[in-house]
Structure 1
Amino acid sequence: MREAIINALIHRDYKEPADTRVFIFDDRFEVVNPGMFPEGVKPEKPEHKPVNPILCGLVYDIGLIEKYGSGISMMKRLSKELTNKEPYYEFSRIQTTIIFLSPVKETTLIDMIDISEELGERQKTAIWHITEYGKITNSEYCKLNNTNRATAFRDLSDMVSKGVIRQYGDGRSVYYMLCEANSEANNEANSEANKQETRNRFQLWKGD
């Protein structure tokens, strides 16, 4: 990300009045720069054509540039080493945006199985209920596990803190659902075939 910001500052057209902007979202990081790439330069074929050669030389001299023309390749390489997707560019007539998708994702059921040793039997039963019915409430947790509301609240809060489930609503309308990586994962998990696969995995997980 540092490389993206440096590139934006040294390669932008300072005749343009717009600012170089950095945006941080829950799922991505963006650097937006006024203007376009120099003519003949593309992200997939980077080369050193400085828009501001004096500024570029200064930044190189103080050690913020390791090698001319290597910035885009470096960002892609480091992203891959960190098991993240490569950054990508979006272009419009007035600006260029580089986007880094967040390497952090919410916990899916498959990820959750990997932390099964951290969950108790009551909590595993709750997960089974959620995979069948989509959500669970404190009252349903009590009935499933024949326990009191204080214990149910403690167990559910523990699962929230582990990133296994997420709380929705407030007061008496509170309910809990499994954390999902994205809406696509939600849709996939809702298919009957995948529900059955989840049930099979869950039975193996519980050791039944």
Structure 2
Amino acid sequence: MMLKENEKIELKRSTSLLKEAIISIVAILNKHGKGELYFGIDSKGNIRGQQVTEKTLRDISQRIAQNIEPRIFPKIEKVTLEKKDCIKICFKGDDKPYFAFGIAYIRVADEDRKLSPAELRRFILKAEAYSGKWDKNLTEVSVDEINRETFNDFLIKVKEAGRLKIKTESRLSVLNKLELIRHEKLTEAAKFLFTDKHSMEVQAAVFAGKDKVTFLDIKKFNGNLFDLLDRTELYLKERLSWRVVIGRKGMEREEIPEIPIAALREALVNSLIHRDFSNPKGNEIAVFKNRIEIYNPGFFPEGLTPEDFIYGEEHSYLRNPKIAEIFYYTKDVERWASGLKRIYDECTRSKVKVEFRILKTGFVTIFYRKKENKNRLKPEILVKENGKYFYNKNTESSVKSSVKSSGKIVHMISDNPKITIPEMAEALGITTRAVEKQIAKLKREGKIKRIGPDKGGYWKALD
């Protein structure tokens, strides 16, 4: 058996180095929350062995209890390696920060580094943010404030995902099952998930160049988290460049975005579920000529880097566990701790450069755009072929379309008052739910109306 020191494993030649061992335990706990330490093995991994008695194990246990705060309860045992007696200590803890002899340490590679007062203050703030308690707190928001359409869509998505069995569609029963309500009052998680009774917003803008000097478009989105996800995804889709490929799948026409939609959506989901909801600053989406940035005001886990999740095997580190859990049930989150890796893998397959930056004020995902080419698509006119509607594209044009989905919907209704929502969704390349949201907005603005019932009725575009 050959052991090597790393960020989660510490090796000590003998118990004469017990003080240093206690410091290593604290450093590993503050970085990873769990680890292993061995006595009787030197730093190069050579098994030397040492004398181990019941008193030896008891003394180690007492020294750890006396000198580590908050207290931990490690498993300390005698093990035989290559016919030599050694000591193995397995430890874990979630009550960060931990102190050894009154001082906090952090693990960096295979070394233990003392935290400065400023670093310790930041560490405590981040540890509190990741305590996983805030989103279970009760609010004064009533269950009656829940957006019924959003909640019904949520139930449909949960059933389709198959990750949670729901025997009833009773709103109170489902909310109780998910621990999102007490005494008909919503928790913090439920308030953000299903209502607009909060001040959180997403700011989105398109800039003319590579900086924020001149903007071409700016919007603010408010609402529940599911609504914000759909609307921001649609906002980005409408501002992407697309290219057309004919013949890759038989003779079918295939439109491919410059940045994988799956990667963009994953970044949007991450920016919502990992943000710091106590921070009044909003999420931000910035579309530049050469890149797209998706920012959220939330500290990255202390001591970890994006690479730890992309290339390593780090476990999930959730700031808002209940919100993340709900998005998991709808399959908007595929599995824990996989978001950054999924974004990276999607972009790698599509040969798109992606960058993850840890900022002092939060975290940003940057997708770099490819240079313009003449195959970029521009929506031009609505055409009908074989009974289906779609927008004809000019593949020789490199001019970005300024036609928005809402305008396209009005155009389609004017052309064919009996067009269906599925036909609109197919023509626009978006979901039926996204079309329904656009239609609701157009109705509120007085631009369209429905004449007659859903079946047998028709649309009317208003002047």
| TM superposition score normalised by structure 2 | 0.23
Structure with more contact order per residue of length (Cα contacts < 8 Å, sep ≥ 6) = 1
TM-score if structure 1 supplies the norm length?
Answer: 0.49
Q: Which has the higher helix share?
A: 1
